[in-house]
Chains A and B, each alone.
Chain A
Amino acid sequence: MSTIESTSRRLRSDYEERRRRSSRPQRQKKKFSLLSIGKGLDMPFTLIILVLLAVGITMMFSASYPSAYYQIGDSYYYLKRQLLFAAIGLVIMIAVSFVDYHYYHRFALFILGVSYFALVLVLILPAQNGVHRWVGIGAFGIQASEISKFAIILFLAHWGSRYYDRMDTMKYGVLPALAVFASTSLLLFLEPHYSCIVIIAILTVVMLFVSGIKLKWLIIGGVVLAGLIILLWSTGLLTYAMTRVKGWGQALSASRDDLKLWNDTWQTRNSLYAIGSGGVFGLGLGQSRQKYLYLPEPQNDFIFAIVCEELGLIGAVVILIIFALLVWRGVIISLRARDRFGKLLGIGLVTHIGLQVILNILVITDWLPNTGISLPFFSYGGSSLMMLLFEMGVVLSISRSSNIEKS
Chain B
Amino acid sequence: MGANQRLRRRTVWLLVIILAVGFGAVIARLGYLQIVSGEDLQRRAVEQQLSDTTISAKRGTIYDTNGKILAQSASVWRVVLAPAYFQNDEQREFVAKRLSEILGLDEKELLEDCKEQSYYVSVKRKIESEEKEQILKLQNEIEEKYNIASVISLFDDYKRYYPYSDLASSVIGFTGSDDQGLWGIEYQYDEYLTGTPGRIIAAKNAGQTDMPYGFNQNIEAVDGNSIVLTIDESIQSIVEKYMAQEIINDAVYNRGVCIIMDVNTGAVYAMASVNGFDLNDPFEISSEAKQKINAIDADYLVKNKIVEDTSKLSDEELKKAISDAKSVAESEALAKSWRNKAISDTYYPGSVFKMVTLSMALEEKVVNADSRFTCTGSYQVYESTIHCHDTSGHGTQTYQESLMHSCNPAFIQIGQLIGEEKFWEYYQAFGFSDKTGIDLPGESEDQFFDWEGVEGAMGPTDLAVASFGQNFSITPIQMITACAAVCNGGKLVQPHVVKQILDKDGNVVKNISTESKRQVISKSVSDEMREILERNAIEGSGKNGYVAGYRIGGKTGTTEKLIDENEDGIKDYIASYCGFAPANDPKVACLVFFDTPTSGNYYGSVVSAPVFASIMSEVLPYLEISAQYTAEELQTIDTTAGSYTGMSVTDAERQANLDGFNVTVKGEGSTVLAQNPVTGSVLSMGGTIVLYTDEESSSEKVEVPNFIGSSVAEVNLIASYYDLNVSIAGATLSGDSEAVAQSIEEGTSVSPGSVITVTFAAGSIND
Q: Do B147 and A320 touch (CB < 8 A)?
A: no
Q: Do A212 and B31 touch (CB < 8 A)?
A: no
Asked whether any CB of chain A lies closer than 8 Å to the CB of B562, the reply is no
Which of A272, A277, A334 has the most C-beta atoms of chain B within 10 angstroms of its own C-beta? A277
Q: Do B205 and A66 touch (CB < 8 A)?
A: yes
Chain A residues near B211: list those with CB within 8 A. Answer: 66, 289, 292
| A and B contact pairs by CB, cutoff 8 A, 17 listed | A167-B3, A252-B44, A273-B41, A289-B45, A292-B203, A293-B206, A312-B34, A316-B34, A331-B14, A334-B11, A343-B7, A344-B7, A351-B14, A354-B23, A358-B18, A361-B29, A367-B29
Q: Do B33 and A365 touch (CB < 8 A)?
A: yes
Task: Tell me the minimal C-beta distance from A254 to chain B in angstroms.
Answer: 12
Chain B residues near A70: list those with CB within 8 A. Answer: 149-150, 205, 207, 209
Chain A residues near B117: list those with CB within 8 A. Answer: 259, 263
Expressed in whole angstroms, the Cα–Cα distance for A272 and B29 within the complex equals: 11
Given A167-B3, A210-B14, A308-B34: 5 more A-B contacts, CB < 8 Å: A210-B11, A211-B7, A270-B48, A316-B30, A351-B14
Q: Do A327 and B15 touch (CB < 8 A)?
A: yes
Expressed in whole angstroms, the Cα–Cα distance for A259 and B83 within the complex equals: 14
How would residues 67 to 80 of chain A score, 1 for a CB under 8 Å from any chain B CB and 0 otherwise? 00110010000000
How would residues 335 to 367 of chain A score, 1 for a CB under 8 Å from any chain B CB and 0 otherwise? 100001001100100010011011001100101
Expressed in whole angstroms, the Cα–Cα distance for A69 and B207 within the complex equals: 12
Expressed in whole angstroms, the Cα–Cα distance for A316 and B34 within the complex equals: 10
Contact-size category for B: 35 or more
Known: A294-B206, A354-B22, A361-B29. A274 touches B45 (CB 8 A): yes
Q: Do A278 and B205 touch (CB < 8 A)?
A: no
Chain A, residue nearest B1 (CB): A212
Task: Tell me the minimal C-beta distance from B350 to chain A in angstroms.
Answer: 60
Partner of B37 from A165, A276, A316, A331 at Cβ < 8 Å: A276
B143-182 residues at the A interface, CB under 8 angstroms: 147, 149-150
Partner of A328 from B3, B15, B44 at Cβ < 8 Å: B15
Chain B residues near A279: list those with CB within 8 A. Answer: 34-35, 38, 42
Q: Label chain B's interface by main secondary structure.
A: helix
Chain A residues near B30: list those with CB within 8 A. Answer: 275, 308, 313, 316-317, 361, 365
Partner of A351 from B18, B46, B149, B204 at Cβ < 8 Å: B18
Asked whether any CB of chain B lies closer than 8 Å to the CB of A299, the reply is no
Q: Do B49 and A294 touch (CB < 8 A)?
A: yes
Q: Do B40 and A276 touch (CB < 8 A)?
A: yes
Q: Label chain A's interface by main secondary structure.
A: helix
Expressed in whole angstroms, the Cα–Cα distance for A272 and B7 within the complex equals: 40
Chain B residues near A272: list those with CB within 8 A. Answer: 33, 41
Q: Do A276 and B11 touch (CB < 8 A)?
A: no
Chain B residues near A276: list those with CB within 8 A. Answer: 33-34, 37-42, 44-45
Partner of A209 from B10, B40, B42, B147 at Cβ < 8 Å: B10
Expressed in whole angstroms, the Cα–Cα distance for A259 and B119 within the complex equals: 11
Expressed in whole angstroms, the Cα–Cα distance for A335 and B8 within the complex equals: 7
Asked whether any CB of chain B lies closer than 8 Å to the CB of A142, the reply is no
Expressed in whole angstroms, the Cα–Cα distance for A289 and B205 within the complex equals: 8
How would residues 260 to 281 of chain A score, 1 for a CB under 8 Å from any chain B CB and 0 otherwise? 0001000000101111111110
Task: Tell me the minimal C-beta distance from B586 to chain A in angstroms.
Answer: 63
Chain A residues near B40: list those with CB within 8 A. Answer: 276
Task: Tell me the minimal C-beta distance from B77 to chain A in angstroms.
Answer: 23
Q: Do A278 and B14 touch (CB < 8 A)?
A: no
Chain A residues near B44: list those with CB within 8 A. Answer: 252, 273, 276
Chain B residues near A362: list those with CB within 8 A. Answer: 25-26, 29
Expressed in whole angstroms, the Cα–Cα distance for A225 and B557 within the complex equals: 98
Expressed in whole angstroms, the Cα–Cα distance for A274 and B147 within the complex equals: 27
Task: Tell me the minimal C-beta distance from B617 to chain A in angstroms.
Answer: 64
Asked whether any CB of chain B lies closer than 8 Å to the CB of A109, the reply is no
Q: What is the interface of chain A, defined by CB distance below 8 A to chain B? A: 66, 69-70, 73, 164-165, 167, 206, 209-212, 252, 259, 263, 270, 272-280, 289-290, 292-294, 308, 312-313, 316-317, 320, 323-324, 327-328, 331, 334-335, 340, 343-344, 347, 351, 354-355, 357-358, 361-362, 365, 367
Partner of B27 from A280, A289, A290, A320 at Cβ < 8 Å: A320
B36-71 residues at the A interface, CB under 8 angstroms: 37-42, 44-46, 48-49
Asked whether any CB of chain A lies closer than 8 Å to the CB of B314, the reply is no
Asked whether any CB of chain A lies closer than 8 Å to the CB of B391, the reply is no
Expressed in whole angstroms, the Cα–Cα distance for A317 and B150 within the complex equals: 37
Q: Do A340 and B48 touch (CB < 8 A)?
A: no
Q: Do A347 and B34 touch (CB < 8 A)?
A: no
Chain B, residue nearest A273 (CB): B45
Known: A273-B45, A275-B33. A289 touches B203 (CB 8 A): yes
Q: Do B34 and A313 touch (CB < 8 A)?
A: yes
Chain A residues near B625: list those with CB within 8 A. Answer: none
Q: Do A324 and B23 touch (CB < 8 A)?
A: yes
Q: Do A294 and B48 touch (CB < 8 A)?
A: yes
- Closest 9 pairs between A and B when the two form their complex, measured CB to CB: A276-B41, A292-B205, A273-B45, A293-B206, A358-B22, A313-B34, A277-B42, A361-B26, A293-B205
Q: Do B3 and A165 touch (CB < 8 A)?
A: yes
Partner of B23 from A69, A294, A320, A344 at Cβ < 8 Å: A320
Chain B residues near A347: list those with CB within 8 A. Answer: 11, 14
Expressed in whole angstroms, the Cα–Cα distance for A231 and B49 within the complex equals: 43
Asked whether any CB of chain A lies closer than 8 Å to the CB of B6, the reply is yes
Chain B residues near A324: list those with CB within 8 A. Answer: 19, 23
Asked whether any CB of chain A lies closer than 8 Å to the CB of B118, the reply is yes
Chain A, residue nearest B207 (CB): A293
Asked whether any CB of chain A lies closer than 8 Å to the CB of B287, the reply is no
Q: Do A331 and B15 touch (CB < 8 A)?
A: yes
Expressed in whole angstroms, the Cα–Cα distance for A367 and B46 within the complex equals: 23
Expressed in whole angstroms, the Cα–Cα distance for A275 and B257 within the complex equals: 68
Chain B residues near A293: list those with CB within 8 A. Answer: 205-207
Expressed in whole angstroms, the Cα–Cα distance for A342 and B236 within the complex equals: 101
Asked whether any CB of chain A lies closer than 8 Å to the CB of B216, the reply is no
Chain A residues near B42: list those with CB within 8 A. Answer: 273, 276-277, 279
Chain A residues near B7: list those with CB within 8 A. Answer: 210-212, 340, 343-344
Known: A293-B206, A313-B30. A277 touches B41 (CB 8 A): yes
Task: Tell me the minimal C-beta distance from B229 to chain A in angstroms.
Answer: 42
Task: Tell me the minimal C-beta distance from A139 to chain B in angstroms.
Answer: 19
Known: A273-B48, A275-B33, A327-B19. A206 touches B206 (CB 8 A): no
Chain B, residue nearest A209 (CB): B10
Expressed in whole angstroms, the Cα–Cα distance for A165 and B23 within the complex equals: 33
Asked whether any CB of chain A lies closer than 8 Å to the CB of B304, the reply is no
Expressed in whole angstroms, the Cα–Cα distance for A72 and B206 within the complex equals: 16
Expressed in whole angstroms, the Cα–Cα distance for A278 and B41 within the complex equals: 9
Q: Do A313 and B31 touch (CB < 8 A)?
A: yes
Chain A residues near B118: list those with CB within 8 A. Answer: 259, 263
